[in-house]
């Protein structure tokens, strides 16, 4: 995984754009100048320039809805993941 520190280092050597996960590039055109933003330690281009919260593309992070469960709740609902 690319950490925030790693990313800043790569920026310094001019390799930042190559390191960005292409799947998180929004398809829409920017309303303001794009800025580099961070979501969960991963860089992405916020093309709105307005720091609008990042919304993962459909299908990504599909395990997130149960991540908040306690051990008791988790094992109560799920036996065979």
Partner 1 sequence: MVDFSKMSTMKGFFAPTRFEADVYDCEVTGKIPSDLNGAFVRLGGDWLYPPKFEDDSPFSMDGYINTFRFKNGVVDYKGRWVKTPRFKADRAARKQLFGKYRNPFTDDPSVAGLDRSVQNTTPLAFAGKLFTLKEDSLPYEIDCNTLETIGPYNFNGKFKSLTFTAHPKIDPATGEMICYGYEAEGLETNDVFLYTISPKGEVTRELRFKMPYVAMVHDIAITEKHVLIPVFGFVSSMERLKEGKVHWGWDDTKPALMCVVPRDGEAKDIRWFKGPSRATVHTLNARDEGGKVILEAAIYDGNPFPFFPPVDGSPWDPAKARAYIRRQTFNMNSKDDGFAEDKLFEMNVSDLGRVDDRYMTQPYRYAFTSYADKARPFEEWKAGNLGGRVNNCYGRFDLSTGKMNSYFAGPTHSLSEVCFVPRKGGAEGDGYILGVANNYAEMRSELIIADAQRLEEGDVARVLLPFRATSQVHGRWVDESELPFA
Q: Which residues bind partner 1 (CB under 8 A)?
A: 1, 39-42, 56, 58-67, 69, 71-81
Least Å distance between CB 57 and partner 1? 10
Beta-carbon count within 10 A of 43 CB? 22
Least Å distance between CB 68 and partner 1? 9
User: Is-contact 59 23, C-beta < 8 A?
Assistant: no
User: Which of 39, 49 has the CB closer to partner 1?
Assistant: 39
Alpha-helical runs (H) found in 1-81: 4-12, 16-19, 71-77
User: Which of 31, 60 has the CB closer to partner 1?
Assistant: 60
User: Is-contact 36 46, C-beta < 8 A?
Assistant: yes
Least Å distance between CB 17 and partner 1? 18
User: Which of 35, 60 has the CB closer to partner 1?
Assistant: 60
Beta-carbon count within 10 A of 26 CB? 16
């Amino acid at each position: 995984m690319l950490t925030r520190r790693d990313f800043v280092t790569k920026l310094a050597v001019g390799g930042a754009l190559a390191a960005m996960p292409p799947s998180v590039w929004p398809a829409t055109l920017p309303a303001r100048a794009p800025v580099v933003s961070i979501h969960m330690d991963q860089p992405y281009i916020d093309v709105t320039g307005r720091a609008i919260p990042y919304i993962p593309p459909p299908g990504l992070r599909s395990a997130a809805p149960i991540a908040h469960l306690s051990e008791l709740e988790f094992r109560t609902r799920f036996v065979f993941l």
